[in-house]
Amino acid sequence: MSASRKLFQAARSLLASASQRSSSAAILAAEGRTAALATLTNLGRKTLPTAYAYHKQGSHHASSGWGAFAAAVPAAVYMLQDQEAHAAEMERTFIAIKPDGVQRGLISEIVSRFERKGYKLVAIKLIVPSKEFAQKHYHDLKDRPFFNGLCDFLSSGPVLAMVWEGEGVIKYGRKLIGATDPQKSEPGTIRGDLAVVVGRNIIHGSDGPETAKDEIALWFEPKELVSYSSNAEKWIYGVN
């Protein structure tokens, strides 16, 4: 069990116990808040917070401060829940810079937008896909009249295939990219700033979790995906 999970469970236990105490809590309100602060400042450490010691020692001094602690500890619980949510929401998405984006020299511009947002690059390669491969990529559009044109274009030159990791990267990655039609893309998006027509909209991004999973598996072998910790993560997510 992770340290944050242990702290979360301990805080929930403290809150449940506190709700059963007497209403004399106001006497030591400041003391209760101090205990809650100790919980927060010890977040992520392997030792239990000072607040837990209040629960254990059973003195009158500690008991009378329980109600105040109950008023303050939800903030600690909330922050612990928030830390747990960070790990749960981490996901990966497939992003490809199409031949037009590569030929126009937009690789660094596009990559920098994802990096500046705070997402982490975990796989990248430059390849020229075959038409058969392009057909696999666009298989969900095989009944559309423009299917062959899409496949011809994707296989017409080098494609920069990437996998990006981060919280909400699938949904927000699509927002960074913009609408399929650049004319309908908002200024500030990649297509809104850098593309003009639908047939040359420079970039592709997975539109959902299942699509991301399938596209990553199509373009990359598992061994090509790199799992690592970035020094920037604590500054991006606020989690040590």
State pLDDT tens for residues 72-86.
555 555 555 555 455
**Residues labelled catalytic:** 204
Please check if 231 is assigned to a binding site: no
Domain positions in the chain are 3-88, 98-228
pLDDT(190) > 80: yes
State yes or no: 98 annotated in a binding site: yes
**Residue 216 in this model has a pLDDT that exceeds 80:** yes
pLDDT at 40 over 50: no
User: Is 240 within any annotated ligand binding site?
Assistant: no
Strand order in the sheet with 90-97: 120-127, 159-167, 90-97, 203-205
Does residue 211 have a known ligand-binding role? no
pLDDT band with cut points at 50, 70 and 90 for residue 89 = confident
**The token pair that represents 42 in the structure block:** 């010890």
Instruction: Tell me how far apart the alpha carbons of residues 60 and 176 are, in angstroms, rounded to a whole number.
Output: 57
Which CATH fold would you assign to the domain 98-228?
Alpha-Beta Plaits (3.30.70)
User: Are the C-beta atoms of 118 and 172 separated by less than 8 Å?
Assistant: no
pTM score, whole prediction:
0.66
3 state DSSP class of 179: coil
Asked if the model's pLDDT at residue 46 lies above 70, the reply is: no
User: For the residues 130-150, what does the mean pLDDT come to?
Assistant: 97
